[in-house]
Structure 1
Amino acid sequence: MTGSFSDASDFVVVGAGLAGAATAWQLAAGGHDVTILERTVPASHDGSSHGSARIFRYAYPDEFYTRAVIESKVLWDELEAASGLELITPFGAVDYGPERQPEHLARVLAGAGVDHELLSVVEARARWPHIAFDTSVLWHPGAGVIDAEGSVNAMIDQAVKHGARLLTGWDVAGVEKRGSGYRVRSAAGGQIDAGNVIVSAGGWLPGLLGRLGLPDGFLAGLPEITVRQEQAYHFRYRELSGSQPEWPTFIHKSAAIQTYGLPGGRDASFAGQKVAEYNGGKLIPSAAAQTGAVDPDNRRRVVDYVQKYLPGLDPEPYAETTCLFTNTPTEDFLIDRAEGLTVLSPCSGHGAKFAPLIGQWAADLATGTGEVPARFRQATARISAN
């Protein structure tokens, strides 16, 4: 649905990526009047939630996040049941490398009751001969691959079924305080009055912050938000001697480079593994400045990595793409509120797996019915401290 007109809604959600769609779903399911404003279309290809391949995993060095994944999985299961879709395909995950500390990760998973194994290099190479492991390896079979675009559309569908409205082609230009509520303006001249506004604009957030009517103290207390134009490459699977198990997702972290990989799904025509350097892209002011051009130095680093560590892949990428990472200094999310404005940014390339839970947190914060972990409310904490 498109349009440029004056209207009103109790809750307006800006942005129909994973976090915005999840928030709209939770709000609408709670019986609230919700309008979703999307600059182009849900899970747009120049945003952070496009495509079919994001890692779902439990392994975190911080037990807080592992337990949050467990909470999130309950909501994923609800979404799959409601939509009738498989949104997370199980592949399992391996974590390794001298800086990844697989032994520590194993202790965290053990404390949280997550099924896992800690394997020696020899054991891991016997199980996955197509990966050249350089340390002990954490394996947890409950990991998998999220269909990001399918998940966004499933959550939007659920929101609409509960009465939400989706307006596409609605590029938000700013938000103004009006009485006890807000007026949201579009670049095309449309406007919607709202009692509450939730801004989940991904890589566009840095360019919007100054136009949201946020109090100065709150704005000054927000963590620094930076945007990187990341690159990802698809490498074809090739046959090795003997039978090969299915490729898992992986995170490999050394002092020289941190990489991740996962079966590419539709993004790779089901023919290869998606491999990328974590936070290896260039800094840009906001998503509006992205070029879509792949950095040849980054391509060279990743190709060199594949040649050295992934013998089961043809080291010549057959497809490549760029994407956006919106980062905070601590890699914690931003879910904070000032008056009737909620600012939402699941940052640093690891938010997809938490999408339904982030939506629940944001909806609870916007309605005042629940709490958000304090680590995600830095601006509020700084204001309170002063």
Structure 2
Amino acid sequence: MGAATAWAATRRGLSVAVLEQFGAGHDRGSSHGSARIVRRAYPDPVYLRMTGRAMELWRELETDAGTRLLRTVGGIDHGPLRDPERLADALATAAVPHELLPPEEAALRWPGLRFDGPVLFHREAGTVDAAGAVAAFLERAGVREADIRYHTAVRRIVPLGELGTSGASGASGASGASGAEAVRLETAEGATLTARRAVFAAGAWAADLLGGLVPLPELTVSQQQIFHFPRRDPVADPWPVVVHKDALNTYSLPGGRDGGPHDGRKIAEHNAGGPTTAGTRDGRVDPAARDRITAYVRDWLPGLVPEPFNEATCLYTSTANDDFVLDRFGPLVVCSPCSGHGAKFAPLIGEMATDLALGGAPPEPRFTLAAHLAQVGRTVAAQWPV
């Protein structure tokens, strides 16, 4: 999200610095890897509307960077808890082309998959190369003179009053924004940067970094398990991405480079991992999760060999209701966490964060700090100390 914000801000001619505590293309956070789902199928009209603009921006990034990031294979939603009929109604309202199929017809179309109820299919879905996208965001931001610093951790955030008109820049921050507030960032190496605005896309590190300054909602960090299975027919056309909610809440997609040399099938449970922190995660796969997914493959994906050939972990950072946090508090813009479903929205979140930094479009009401705190009876009473 920070890389996407740098791309969005530099496209508007802003002076931007990006501070990344790890190296280029690291896998310590949430939105890495070569295959993440993009889709239009959301029952919630807020996210459904956002998917349309996000897809437009993905295409703009591909054109800007001269590289292919999207792989369109279509999307399937099924299972009684996924409620395909409700999703079909939502897509119809948004004029998104789709089909609602009986299970027998879906099984004929995708013989490697098994269905036991209505199946929603829409073509505007597939995967995005998240690692490639981060590289493209930053490459294009660098061409537009962003100052990109790796292995640079922010250790202190200092509120300031009126900033002079010299046009300093800050971490994923934009100079020249209106308003009196400013912020100084101090890094672990002792460097300082001063900016009108600083955009924090810190994910699992958000509470540690901003907890004393911003009234964040309660955030839960969890370690998720991901598995890759070989296809019985490796040269067949790739299946669509699949979201299946039944006894398990699973998703699957073409695995891309993530599984190694084989373009197999990447499968995981959504939000089924145990609690952890960014600093204490162990990166070890839970054997019980492996057993559950292997049994799921055996029951529902007969076109796969039910023996995983690769596995990994990643982090979710989630709010209580899985809505995003995207709001401004003084000179700070908070644009994480994304509750395990943000990668598909990355260029749009960068655009929205830039709007907030500039004082332009207001935040989506549900994503504000006040809305999240209201869920638990709290209010944003604190003011930015200047």
TM, length-normalised to structure 2 = 0.89
Cα distance in 2 between the residues matched to 1:59 and 1:346: 21
Cα distance in 1 between the residues matched to 2:53 and 2:290: 36
* 2:343 pairs with 1:352: yes
Where 2:335 maps in the other structure, the secondary structure is strand
* 2:229 pairs with 1:228: no
* 2:68 pairs with 1:86: yes
**Aligned equivalent of 1:126:** 108
* 2:206 pairs with 1:205: yes
8 Å Cα contact 1:233-1:274 kept in structure 2: yes
**Aligned equivalent of 2:90:** 108
**Aligned equivalent of 1:252:** 244
Return the letter of the residue paired with 1:196. Answer: R
8 Å Cα contact 1:128-1:244 kept in structure 2: no
* 2:300 pairs with 1:309: yes
In terms of fraction of residues, the more strand-rich structure is 1
**Aligned equivalent of 1:5:** none
Which stretches of structure 1, 4 residues or longer, exceed 4 Å deviation after superposition?
A: none
Shift of 1:245: 4.5
8 Å Cα contact 1:121-1:133 kept in structure 2: yes
Return the letter of the residue paired with 2:286. Answer: D
- Give the number of aligned pairs: 357
Cα distance in 1 between the residues matched to 2:144 and 2:357: 18
Where 1:113 maps in the other structure, the secondary structure is coil
8 Å Cα contact 2:204-2:337 kept in structure 1: no
Which 10-residue stretch deviates more, 158-167 or 258-267? 158-167
Cα distance in 2 between the residues matched to 1:89 and 1:350: 18
Where 1:184 maps in the other structure, the secondary structure is strand
Shift of 1:362: 0.5
- Name the Cα RMSD after superposition: 1.9
In terms of fraction of residues, the more helix-rich structure is 1
**Aligned equivalent of 2:275:** 283
8 Å Cα contact 1:95-1:252 kept in structure 2: yes
Cα distance in 1 between the residues matched to 2:183 and 2:103: 58
1:372 corresponds to which of 335, 343, 363:
363
8 Å Cα contact 1:43-1:49 kept in structure 2: no
- Using the aligned pairs only, state the percent identity: 46
Shift of 1:315: 0.8
Alignment of 1:117-156 (within 5 A): 117-156=99-138
Cα distance in 1 between the residues matched to 2:7 and 2:370: 26
8 Å Cα contact 1:223-1:378 kept in structure 2: yes
Cα distance in 1 between the residues matched to 2:229 and 2:316: 22
Instruction: Flag structure 1 segments of 5+ consecutive residues without an equivalent.
Output: 1-18
Instruction: Flag structure 2 segments of 5+ consecutive residues without an equivalent.
Output: 163-181
Shift of 1:327: 0.6
Return the letter of the residue paired with 1:24. Answer: A
Q: Deviations over 1:55-103 (max 9, x none)?
A: 0000011122111100111111111111111111011111000100001
